[in-house]
Structure 1
């Protein structure tokens, strides 16, 4: 199985490079906003929390289609892949409509979470631009998921790397102005994202039409009417997966909205911790995508033993890299915080938060791999139940109490650290239960 580990590692490395290029979009915007104004960084913390909650939840529903296409690929049913992809466009269209409605009208959420009125104007303007960047982003994610399921993520990675070369100068130019363009601040970062997303989608469409390796799948036939049997299968996978991701992400990103009432320094420090945690998450995410593609491939090929072995190799790699990343995050916390801000108070608080996020990352890596492999075995409802109970109930609810009201002998901390501590505990419990569920599921399929 050394070769299986190599296949997973090579696939994960390719996905990781592309994901890091996309994550660099957020890092770029965080640094640009932080240098533009502390208030812009605080507004970005809130705006990105809402956008990420919407985008990643909808993306999770589309990403859940990976096992479907990987199984068809493993069974060598190439013509059915093309038809299945065309049917997925109906799902993507619904996702775009839902996402845009939320992003264009965020005011109720901002009021509910007590985001200061002084931030709301910048946040709403930023989300208004990103609403129109959502459609190309989700369509490109569909293209990315297709390539991952076929074990060919290289083209996606090259596009993502090329897009970073466009995003970086555009964010700086649009935010600070120049060459006749007025400074737009945070909204300028949103416009840069919109331009880049459409450029990536255009390149993906061109590749699908011109690249010879896609011809056997016959993607460019006339789209069929909705196949409700196929769409119900998508829904059984995608809806619970999307809702599970929604719970996971909102338990993470709603922290930013609740922390906003602690002031701009707390929001800025939290944004540093959140951004670095999101960057670190790309490693287990890439390994989980690669592992699930191999597990589904072998299941489609009818070899359950090789599917189990592929899952074990992915687990070993995930644990190894999670330990390395968590250790680095704790050891270099002061230097990492200093990259994002020149404010000593923000740096000090950010460095403290990074100690908690190192523990958070370990649990996050384990649960991510488990939930991706569970989808290969069509298990999606129980992870949703566990996410809702632990991440919303214990994590987010417990965080709010610890931060603002106190829990038992512990008085209210009035610090973003409370959110990271309680969320880390909840995520660790989630990872343990997912491991138990995955072990039971695999044994049952023998």
Structure 2
């Protein structure tokens, strides 16, 4: 018993040492969007709307790009565990090429924002600002892709602190750059919301340059990354794309379901939408923690598999999932004990607060399931199993959670229409099913891996 406890404490400490910097990195990048929104909102309603519309075009593809590049982390972690540093250099440069190709496609997409917005039917006075904002973001796409690639390398090498420090620095720089470009200070033109786009691009280029300089100057990393491995290899890029595309689709498609739910709740009433938005925003902030822990689990499991330590990979998967579940209990406790305090951060409206309080209780109910399914997915990424988990997640969200939410919330088919609470019951059900399916998939992959001890190829 003591041995098991000591192993749990040791692995939990190692996991959190990896995950806490990732949490801070995620919060820093999210905070950049918050800063953009609040500062642009001080200019005009049109500028605020332009940020929202530009973001609606940009965020899904950004998540897709981020997910594709995330494939580098388990690959590097695996090779690091195997002490195969030559393969790390090759895989790194193939991801750089893949990121650059993806960036080209995203740049074309963003500079085409104006006809896309016209086709959607956006108000004419907003289109010029939103399209210029998207154009400004297009300038920074290669810098963003490069930063994510360098970040993936560092994470795979068990180093999450350097990206954290640079992300926090980027957040600090983003505020004054926003101020100068939005409001036209120190001789610069007043760009409004468009200034946010240029600030984001400039800051990410700065962050990429800093992280690249760090890696080039690191006593160990500079011996791993060799320019002689920079030649593009089509088969390697296809392999990384097959591994990363399901991750990106998983993140982008499943993340978008909450936007769809907000739109559907709009049929009920403005107060209902406001209450739902409060609960969803709080939930999205707490989700950063299990998501970051899942990244840590991916790294730890990848290291073990690279070192041919299958039992270690199994133990790290189990302990990681358990740690994520235990951490979720903190959020559950806060949601249940202090709902009024949380809601007052958003509104003092009595009707909205009452509805939001009810939704926060239901939000607390799915925190544990969300932590389990997210952490199990992280373990599966460590095993390089990404395609089936994507299918399971999409089926749980779009095949179960959303349809059930619509039936319970907007119709009388099963019970009298529950309104926004019906959608939360759908989310709870979908996440619980996702957690069960992810655990079953992990169990299957572990058994498959144990049956083939000398074959550590991707499980897809």
Q: Does residue 388 in structure 1 map to residue 394 in structure 2? A: yes
Q: Does residue 335 in structure 1 map to residue 360 in structure 2? A: no
1:2-401 mapped onto 2 (5 Å cutoff): 2-32=9-39, 44-45=51-52, 47-105=54-112, 123-172=130-179, 174-175=181-182, 184-221=191-228, 223-224=230-231, 226-255=232-261, 271-340=277-346, 353-399=359-405
User: How far is the alpha carbon of 1:190 from its aligned partner?
Assistant: 2.9
User: Counterparts of 2:193 and 2:339 in 1: how far apart (Å)?
Assistant: 26
Q: TM-score, normalised by structure 1?
A: 0.85
Gaps of 5+ in 1: none
The question of whether the paired residues in 2 share the 8 Å contact of 1:103 and 1:128 is answered with: yes
Larger radius of gyration: 2
User: How far is the alpha carbon of 1:173 from its aligned partner?
Assistant: 5.0
CA 1:132–1:232 in 2, change beyond 3 Å: closer, same or farther?
Answer: same
User: How far is the alpha carbon of 1:139 from its aligned partner?
Assistant: 1.4
User: How far is the alpha carbon of 1:205 from its aligned partner?
Assistant: 2.1
- When structure 1 is superposed on structure 2, of 74-83 and 121-130 the one drifting more is 121-130
CA 1:114–1:427 in 2, change beyond 3 Å: closer, same or farther?
Answer: farther
Aligned pair count?
443
User: Counterparts of 2:77 and 2:254 in 1: how far apart (Å)?
Assistant: 25
User: Deviations 1:138-158 (Å, cap 9, x if unpaired)?
Assistant: 211111111111101111111
User: How far is the alpha carbon of 1:206 from its aligned partner?
Assistant: 1.8
User: Deviations 1:28-85 (Å, cap 9, x if unpaired)?
Assistant: 3344456666776666555434432211122111112211111110111112211110
SS of residue matched to 2:385: coil
Question: 1 or 2 for the larger relative contact order (CA 8 Å, sep ≥6)?
Answer: 1
User: Counterparts of 2:277 and 2:180 in 1: how far apart (Å)?
Assistant: 22
User: How far is the alpha carbon of 1:309 from its aligned partner?
Assistant: 0.8
User: Counterparts of 2:393 and 2:324 in 1: how far apart (Å)?
Assistant: 20
The question of whether the paired residues in 1 share the 8 Å contact of 2:261 and 2:423 is answered with: yes
CA 1:203–1:100 in 2, change beyond 3 Å: closer, same or farther?
Answer: same
User: Deviations 1:317-339 (Å, cap 9, x if unpaired)?
Assistant: 10111121233244444433443
Name the structure 2 match of 1:444: 448
CA 1:102–1:394 in 2, change beyond 3 Å: closer, same or farther?
Answer: farther
User: Counterparts of 2:194 and 2:409 in 1: how far apart (Å)?
Assistant: 31
SS of residue matched to 1:212: coil
User: Deviations 1:90-118 (Å, cap 9, x if unpaired)?
Assistant: 21123223333444445787689887778
- When structure 1 is superposed on structure 2, of 147-156 and 31-40 the one drifting more is 31-40
Q: Let me know the Cα RMSD of the aligned residues.
A: 3.4
Gaps of 5+ in 2: 1-6, 451-460
Q: TM-score, normalised by structure 2?
A: 0.83
The question of whether the paired residues in 2 share the 8 Å contact of 1:45 and 1:267 is answered with: no
User: Counterparts of 1:189 and 1:259 in 2: how far apart (Å)?
Assistant: 30
The question of whether the paired residues in 1 share the 8 Å contact of 2:179 and 2:185 is answered with: no
- When structure 1 is superposed on structure 2, of 82-91 and 229-238 the one drifting more is 229-238
- When structure 1 is superposed on structure 2, of 156-165 and 111-120 the one drifting more is 111-120
User: How far is the alpha carbon of 1:192 from its aligned partner?
Assistant: 2.6
